[in-house]
Structure 1
Amino acid sequence: MSGGGSWRFECKFCNTKYVGAHNRVVSHLLKDGGKGVKVCPKVTPQQLANMSKLLNDCKERVKNAAPKSVPLPSSLRNAATSSLDYDMSFTCSNPTSSEVGLKKRKGMGTALEKAFQNNSKEQCDGEIARMFYIGGLSFNLARNPHYRRSYVRASNIPGYVLPGYNALRTTLLQKERKNIELHLQPIKDSWKAKGVSICSDGWSDPQRRPIINLIVANTNGPMMLRAVNSQGEVKSGEMIAELIIECIKEVGHENVVQIITDNASNCVKAGALISAKYHVIFWTPCVVHTLNLVVKNICAPSLQTRNNDDVYDACKWIRPLADDVSLIKNFIMNHGMRLVMFTEHCNLKLLTVASTRFASTLVMFKSLRK
């Protein structure tokens, strides 16, 4: 049974009960002493030898199963050596005679070389590069200003040790959150004087989980209140209204001017429920979403527009054109040789119509025309 981060165990030889981790079990059975536990008086020499052998075998298996450390590329490499050779020692304290000759020929080993510690710099560069490769980090991280500042600060602090896993996810995370909240406080202070609009929309994260975000905005700037994972839930009008009402209570209903969502039927119902509960708050459809629907209706006239012959005749040519452009795009994208020919002679990328993107049909027309 676990408790307090340790385990309670009972020795099968002397029936004594102890509390602790596996190292206390080892000290008790193998009669090492220490660890605040008595040695077992009933373990025979043969049993002691067998358990010692078993422990050594387990340590050897763990050691062999551990990931092998791949050495960093060596900066001392003669001309006949392949570019894939590695420095197996991580240091250059005992160079070979050929390496010594290479140092002399290239002027290495001088006082200037030692002052700049070029080899140490290359080893450090290799460690940082391998962190990116093994961790699957984006190379754009190297453009992050905090990335460079952190290394500059660390190089100027003697004996600095990087924060570990637990510090990053606990104390440092809490400290950063408090810092962000402190900088967001001026925006919160403006809510009472200027009022706010609560905006809500749905999207999917990289794991394809449906997320509903809730943002508060006014002239002082937007602020993300929360992002709710709605996986496994029905996005009904009542459910969306409940989420928005929680945000209204957090902001203060007297500070909320309007609710902004898209024109989906469940969002329209949520807006009606909120307006019925708070009479001074009204619902506004998203202007960008409305314009997107307008452009979509122009590019693909529906049956409703057939009732107006003038409008339909003016827009009916766009749909066949979009079909032709999609056919050309599919022909190029689905044939490897055609795609190679296209990329060799054109710097632009073919864009696909996406139903959730704004005016994507017109963007595809423009790209293909160029």
Structure 2
Amino acid sequence: MSSSSSASCNVSGSSNSSESMKDLYPLWKFVVKGDKISGGGGNYNWKCNFCGEVKNGSYTRVKAHLLGEQGKGIQTCNKVKIDDLAKLRSLHRESEDYKKSLLPKVPPFSNEPISSHTSTEATSMRLGSFDNVKKRKSKNTISDAFNVKSRDHLDSEIARMFYTGGLPFNLARNPYYVSSYTMAANSNLSGYKPPGYNKLRTTLLCKETENVDRLLQPMKATWKTKGVSIVSDGWSDPQRRPLINIMIASETGPMFMKAIDCSGEIKDKDFIATLLSEVIDEIGDQNVVQIITDNASNCKAAGELYMMNVIG
């Protein structure tokens, strides 16, 4: 270690002299600064004047050792008294303030246009001062830009709707499920609330029935020229109600017409014959080519009874 003179362990009061204020690294005074470490940048061998331990490193480690800063890769000094520590910190603050005073001051930005008479030199000096200012890091991260948290929260709300309502996951493949949320996201509908229970089963249901009828009109228009087949089949719904489905098959494709609830009815030949007769009248007997049912005995008998009534 070189013969650099050591500073006294007695820390004097914070000096207000210009010499003290201009000392950018005042804590070097409280260690014995030794040889510079080869290839180590600003690293030196040094000995603490308080604890007498030999260390190595830059001024940052000297400061951490003397001021008791943790996590700097060096053990803090346990021999610095409280009064001395306060004075060391005061010296450090004074040096930091002095460093800040040396930084170039940036003139306030003005919205006024630069006069054409302003000299090129003055303009370049002003613009050059802005080059020395570090650009602020944008606070808007990619996550904020795409509202990732809001999107995740909305996903969770939609998922809970499926889980608590017992909805089938296959509903997520319904194109109207996707388009409804897409429309809500891309429209300015502040304060919008989805339709409630009563509106879904009354007003909106009637409105959609009218819409479906309107969409089926082109198909129905072909029945007079091409004819149709009436297809009937019985089944039970999830509530175990006995239903009879009526479907229409034509050249333009099949169409569901209606389902008739037969609860409390006896599905004998008379009941089925009456039912088929009403359907034929609704479609128009001139448009019916054939009637297709299952081969149950009551259906066969209903067909024969209807033909007898027509012929008779």
Task: Quickly name the TM-score band, shorter chain normalised.
Answer: 0.5 to 0.7
- Tell me, in whole angstroms, the C-alpha distance in 1 between the residues paired with 2:307 and 2:274: 13
Two-structure CA RMSD over aligned residues (Å): 2.1
One-letter amino acid of the counterpart of residue 215, structure 2 = H
User: Higher helix fraction: Structure 1 or Structure 2?
Assistant: 1
Moved more, 161-170 or 202-211: 161-170
- The higher relative CO (CA closer than 8 Å, separation ≥ 6) is in 2
Distance (Å, rounded) in 1 between the aligned partners of 2:280 and 2:181 = 43
Q: Partner amino acid for 1:126? A: S
Residue correspondence of structure 1 range 109-148 to structure 2 within 5 A: 110-148=140-178
- What does 1:1-370 align with in structure 2 at a 5 Å threshold? 110-158=140-188, 159=190, 160-279=192-311
1:220/1:211 Cα in 2 relative to 1: closer, same or farther (>3 Å)? same
Q: What is the number of equivalent residue pairs in this alignment?
A: 174
Structure 2 stretches lacking a partner, 5+ long: 1-138
- CA displacement 1:244-273 (0-9 Å, x = unmatched): 100011011121122111111100110001
Equivalent residue letter for 1:239: F
Q: Deviations over 1:258-305 (max 9, x none)?
A: 21111111001100011112249xxxxxxxxxxxxxxxxxxxxxxxxx
CA contact (8 A) 1:215 1:223 kept: yes
Aligned position for 1:311: none
- On the 8 A contact 1:225/1:247 being kept in 2, the answer is no
Of structures 1 and 2, the larger Rg is shown by 2
- Deviations 1:127-186 (Å, cap 9, x if unpaired)? 111000111101111111111111010001121432222322222212211111011111
Aligned to 1:206, what secondary structure does the other structure show? coil
Whether the 8 Å CA contact 1:197–1:258 is kept in 2: the answer is yes
The residue type paired with residue 205 of structure 1 is D
- What secondary structure does 2:290 align onto? strand
Q: Which amino acid in 1 is paired with 2:281? A: K
State the distance in 1 between where 2:292 and 2:143 align: 64
Distance 1:168 1:181, change over 3 A: same
CA drift at 1:110: 4.7
Q: Percent identity?
A: 55
1:199–1:261 contact (8 Å) kept in structure 2: yes
Divergent runs of 4+, >6 A: none
Contact 1:214/1:244, CA 8 A, preserved across alignment: no
- Measured in 2, the distance between the counterparts of 1:186 and 1:279 equals 32
Paired residue type of 2:307: S
